[in-house]
Amino acid sequence: MTDLDLAAVRAFVTVVDEGQFGHAARVLGITQQGVSKRVAKLESQLGVSLFDRLGSGSAVTAAGAKVLPHARALLAVAQDTVVAARAQVRPLRVAVQGERHVASVSMRYYLDRNPEADVEIVMSTAFRSGRDALLNGRVDATFARQHGGPRALPPGIGAVPAHLEPLHLLVGRDHPLAAQSAVTPAQIAAYPVWVPGASVPSEWADYYREWSEFSGVEIVTGRVPGGSPEREDDREKGRGPFGLEAVLERLAASDTLASFAGDGYRFPWHPHIRRLPIFDPTPAYPHALLWAGAGAHPGLPPLIAHVRENYNGDIGADCWIPESDRPLFLPAPPVPASTAHRAG
């Protein structure tokens, strides 16, 4: 079997595309004589004439016309081989707030059903947010709120609604609301609600500020309720004054203090903690999937499609979310054409 010379094959295809040996020589960066030698070598290997030399250029022979599509395919395979060897695609990097959060659970659900997906999960915090990781190029996508925070998202960031997460109220068993099966914002407003970490500027701190303004519920922050601002090392391995266990112990020991928890957040079990749904309305945190629109990772489209398909927007009618998030999460239904015509 004859081993074809790829340089000779490329010279043949280039002459066909350019119409003249001289033009092909300029494209290939070699002399016209060099092009002729390469084409002649290919003709010798194949045992056929590929061109009829004319005064105005070169015309492909019938044999050359048959060879041409195979030559193009051979060059394409060669290029694919080079790309496969040099450009190994790294895993899709996706930031989530933490392993106990609903986005982390959602990603495990996705990976269980798409075992071929090559995904690296990156944990973020209020101090090292997923949005900042996205804007700095450390991750390809993140689950986060689209609006709020100290650093607005620039144009070109893609977004789809991922999950509306209803908030629950956490109280100790001696709290006046502990015996309720569910509570309203008006009932909660009589008691302070501690949201550890919300003193750190972030999009989720802004969410609780907006919820407080809407509902009249007092939000207190700090390393202890109303105390000094939180520090990043306070949550290391769940220790510190607002590690999970410390928060639950403080709530369990109080007959006035409460806190919020998303219904998808996996708190450690505590026998003295009661978890109460909130209604009329239900505050829901709007988790979006965000990504940089330019140069998107090839593993991103299947994840976007999965998130779109599984968004729980059907619960939105009874939920409160900030006005800035409503266009993405609760878009207004389209106006029928006949109605729009009458309104005009």
pLDDT tens column, 261-315: 999 988 888 999 999 999 999 999 999 999 987 778 999 999 999 999 999 999 9
Q: Which two tokens stand for residue 308?
A: 């779109």
Name the band, by pLDDT with cuts 50, 70 and 90, for residue 186: very high
Are 167 and 262 a contacting pair, CB within 8 Å? yes
Q: Is the pLDDT of residue 342 over 60?
A: no
- The string of pLDDT tens digits covering residues 216-270 is 999 999 888 888 877 766 554 444 445 788 899 999 999 999 999 999 988 888 9
Pairing of strands 282-292, 119-123: unpaired
Q: Which of 29, 28, 18 is nearest to 60 (CA)?
A: 18
Average pLDDT over residues 179-206: 94
Main-chain dihedrals φ then ψ at residue 275, nearest 5 degrees:
-115, 115
Percent of the chain with pLDDT over 70: 90
Are 207 and 147 a contacting pair, CB within 8 Å? no
Sequence length of the chain is 344
Rounded Cα distance between 64 and 50, Å, is: 4
The residue among 79 and 68 whose pLDDT is bigger is 68
Cis status, amide bond into 154, omega within 30 of 0: no
Q: Which of 2, 73, 63, 12 is nearest to 37 (CA)?
A: 12
Rounded Cα distance between 198 and 200, Å, is: 5
CA distances from 62 to 18, 45, 50 (A): 18, 17, 8
User: pTM of the full predicted structure?
Assistant: 0.71
